[in-house]
A = this chain, B = another copy of it.
Amino acid sequence: MNDQTLEQLGEIESLRRTVARLTPSVHALVGSGDDAAVIVADQSFVVSTDTLIENHDFRLDWSSSFDLGYKAVATNLADIAAMGAKPTALVVALVVPKTTKISWLEGFADGLDASCKSLAPGAGVVGGDLASGEQLVVSVTVHGSMEGRTPVLRSGAQAGDIVAVAGTLGKSSCGLALLQSENKDLINSYDDWVSYHLRPEPPIQQGVEASIAGATSMLDLSDGLSVDLMRICKASNVAIELSSKELQGFEAMLELPALGLGVDPKNWVLHGGEDHALVATFPSNAVLPKAFKAIGVVTSGEPELYLDGVPLEAKGWDSITGK
């Protein structure tokens, strides 16, 4: 029965089987199945959207449908965490070829569900849209609650603040490089890094912790440390000084696969995308939440990034040019 295609089953039955695998959000007053869902809110709600496109953001020979569902949720949850909010509900728009097998769609639903359960317990998919097209596209919109706190924007960093990171730096890029090498021995040896690229585990609950600890600015690292930190510099009109000594721990985590591939892991740490780590700035007298590691300081001056006192070029991923 699982070999049937979506075209054979039709939209209604395909959707029914998919939705049956999803754990409802505990925050939904009205869930999937009507014109819209209704979600509990507390004076405000937080919303963000992100899209994954076949052969641009993922390859089906690398990612299972479970991986893809997991990653689509994880990367979106990170945007909510980066506001200091708690994720509550997601809607998922999926475009697939009509020759797609129902088993593929069921695996995708399982990935969505596992990601919610693991990274944001209580949050869940409350609606979506399933349609056919030539190229696979996953578009997720995620919602969260500020629970009465003030949103942590990119624009609040102050000279004197500490810059700190929760999560990994460069691990996703390292996994991507391993996959791109097509070297099966390396891919098998370092499957932890490969797995992180395919199913990232952003520090979602640490976003709320950062907010409570007084974070003055925060974002999630989707395009790379340098380009994303530069966004804080510009929005806050400050400079940031990174210390390579403080980044050594992140490099050390990538040393073995980097050696296997014959490359310097520093580029992954400074410019690699898709880790979805949280980077935040905290007042110098703040007690950093346990998951956060200091990597630099905010200074006054033109928006600019420095590494050990030397200007650092901000470079990362552009979702249009793919460069």
Contacts and interface: CB of A to CB of B under 8 A. Distances in A.
Interface of A: 6-7, 9-12, 14, 29-30, 33-51, 53-54, 56-57, 78-80, 82-83, 85, 89, 91-93, 95, 98, 126-135, 137, 139, 141-144, 146, 151, 153-155, 218-220, 235, 318-322
Q: Which 6 A-B pairs have the closest CB atoms?
A: A41-B41, A36-B48, A141-B141, A35-B82, A139-B139, A11-B320
Given A41-B43, A91-B49, A93-B49, A36 B133 contact: no
A38 B80 CA distance: 10
A142 B14 CA distance: 24
A13 to B, nearest CB: 9
How many copies the complex holds: the figure is 2
Nearest to A96: B320
Nearest to A27: B44
B131 A47 contact: no
Given A30-B153, A51-B95, A93-B93, A130 B320 contact: yes
A236 to B, nearest CB: 12
A45 B38 contact: yes
Nearest to A6: B320
Given A38-B47, A47-B143, A134-B134, 16 more contacts: A11-B320, A29-B44, A34-B151, A35-B154, A36-B46, A36-B48, A36-B80, A39-B44, A47-B89, A51-B93, A51-B131, A57-B131, A91-B141, A98-B320, A129-B319, A132-B322
Contacts of A219: 34-35
23 contacts: A11-B319, A11-B320, A14-B320, A34-B219, A35-B79, A35-B80, A35-B82, A35-B83, A37-B46, A38-B44, A39-B44, A39-B46, A40-B43, A47-B126, A47-B141, A47-B143, A53-B131, A57-B131, A91-B141, A95-B137, A130-B319, A131-B320, A137-B137
